[in-house]
Amino acid sequence: MPVRLVDSLASTEPLAEIFSDRSILQAMLDFEVALARAESRLGIIPQAAVEAIAAAANPDAFDLAVLSRSTLRAGTPSIPLAKTLIDLVRSKDAAAAGFVHYGATSQDVSDTALILLLKRAQPLIESDLLCAEEGLRKLSEQHQSTTMLGRTLLQAAPPITLGLKAASWLAALNRGRKRLTESFAEALVLQFGGAVGTLAAIGDKGPMVAQGLADELGLICPDAPWHTNRDRLATLVCACGVLAGSMGKIARDVSLLMQNEVGEASEPESSGRGGSSTMPHKRNPTGCAVTLAAATRVPGLVASYLSAMVQEHERAVGGWHSEWPTVTAAVQATGVAAASIAEIAEGLSVDSARMGENLTATGGTIYAEKAMILLTAKLGRDKAHQLLEEAARNAVTQHRQLVEVLGEMPEVTKHLNPAAIKQLAVAEDYLGSAEIFRLQQLQATLSPKNPAEKKD
């Protein structure tokens, strides 16, 4: 389904469909039908009631507008849903109506419905994240030797490789995906506890019904109901927050590299993407903007969810009522960021020539550290630092290359010959352990389940 205009930068169409009104309604009805089936197998309700409930649990029979308005009055969508379902069943089988929602409470329905929607959302997000990782892996391999400016505090610094930069992006993204996967695995559990979490309404068969219900819905059956213990969902939302931040970091870097005065990389081109309503020449970082928007929103959602964790006794007032929009917004924001980063990673255009030009444009001042280290052994650190500070200042003010200035300083030429001074400006000679760190990060992202993929 199309994303609502107000959410057009906050979700993908598949995720918008998952969290649509009809999908939420279907998830709640799935709970009710699965509950009836689980109870029937244990002889708690008759099979005829199951058939009547399943036949009535048709989303088309529900007026979503009425359900929404009634939810505001009831404080939960589960109450008007159950009432409507009971009426629908009663119209066909009066006896079966007494077994609708049997032993459950309203929070069981809404919590489990949310979990069912999250279960559907996980593979969509994971797929995009895996595509992004593969794109970044290829980018790192293709540019393992492409030198570029390192930048600290947004200023030019000694050189790095684009391969190392991409590997660092990949490593953080990979760690974030693994955390998200683990948190999903922990959070996809059934909620079924009845009024106060004891399932007293169905006697001593509560645990068996819970297990049967979990099996019906394809969820994990927890050790006990978790009405006011929201730690699993909190961990998931926090994982979204960390991952969104890591994706935002990638987007921030790419958008800075796309600035005209930098011009070292650009997002992939496609029809209708990145243009301006008034400036035909513009190629805006659209994917970065969407990702950064998500990274901006999610921390607030994390804080909101954590605030709602402090819930009273066995069933809370207000805490869990706040969660649906918070959780769904966090998950959709993470999903749209993942889709955007995947598109960027798979199609990032790199201008390696411009990277070289930007290295040269510094006048070689980025190699001052390298020269200082060589001279420290001869002059001591303080004297070497003083000389290089003076040389760098002169290179900038005189618009000359640092090596030229150094070649005219007797304190330098006394210890470094012309060839050594000239070699100072070779970026490839001052990359340190960049390639080792690049390879180590790539290795760390390979799945241990696929040892054949690992490199020697």
As for how many domains the chain has, the answer is 3
**Residue 120 known to be catalytic:** no
pLDDT by residue for the chain (456 residues), tens only, comes to: 688 999 999 999 999 999 999 999 999 999 999 999 999 999 999 999 999 999 999 999 999 999 999 999 999 999 999 999 999 999 999 999 999 999 999 999 999 999 999 999 999 999 999 999 999 999 999 999 999 999 999 999 999 999 999 999 999 999 999 999 999 999 999 999 999 999 999 999 999 999 999 999 999 999 999 999 999 999 999 999 999 999 999 999 999 999 999 999 999 976 556 554 454 455 789 999 999 999 999 999 999 999 999 999 999 999 999 999 999 999 999 999 999 999 999 999 999 999 999 999 999 999 999 999 999 998 999 999 999 999 999 999 999 999 999 999 999 999 999 999 999 999 999 999 999 999 999 999 997 654 444 444
Instruction: Please check whether residue 444 lies inside any domain of the structure.
Output: no
Give the pTM: 0.93
Instruction: Please check whether residue 143 lies inside any domain of the structure.
Output: no
Catalytic annotation, pick one of 276, 307, 349, 447: 276
Same domain flag for 181 and 245: yes
Instruction: State the CATH number of the domain containing residue 377.
Output: 1.10.40.30
Same domain flag for 180 and 275: yes
pLDDT on residue 269:
79
Same domain flag for 376 and 282: no
**Coil, strand or helix: which one is 349?**
strand
Torsion of CA 330, 336, 338, 343, to 10 degrees: -170
Give the Å distances, CA to CA, from 406 to 356, 409, 414, 427: 22, 5, 11, 17
Contact yes or no for 245/291 (Cβ under 8 A): no
Instruction: State the CATH number of the domain containing residue 90.
Output: 1.10.275.10
For 227-240, the DSSP string reads: TT--HHHHHHHHHH
Instruction: Please check whether residue 259 lies inside any domain of the structure.
Output: yes
Q: Token pair of 136, please?
A: 């970044």
For 81, residues 6+ apart whose C-beta sits below 8 A from its C-beta are: 25, 28, 29, 32, 62, 67, 109
**Residue 276 known to be catalytic:** yes
Same domain flag for 240 and 337: yes
Contact yes or no for 302/239 (Cβ under 8 A): no
Contact yes or no for 362/370 (Cβ under 8 A): no
E strand or H helix at 359: helix 352-361
- Please give the residue range of the domain that contains residue 317: 121-137+155-189+226-359
The full length of the chain comes to: 456
Residue 219's identity, in one-letter code, is: L
The DSSP symbol for 59 reads G
pLDDT on residue 277:
47
- Point out which residues pair with 152 in neighbouring strands: 155
Contact yes or no for 287/340 (Cβ under 8 A): yes
Residue that is last in its domain, among 359, 379, 396: 359
Same domain flag for 167 and 313: yes
Instruction: Please check whether residue 159 lies inside any domain of the structure.
Output: yes
pLDDT on residue 453:
44
Euclidean distance between CA atoms 399 and 19, whole angstroms: 59
Catalytic annotation, pick one of 37, 137, 315, 438: 315
Same domain flag for 75 and 183: no
Q: What are phi and psi of 148, to 5 degrees?
A: -155, 170
Torsion of CA 336, 340, 342, 344, to 10 degrees: -170
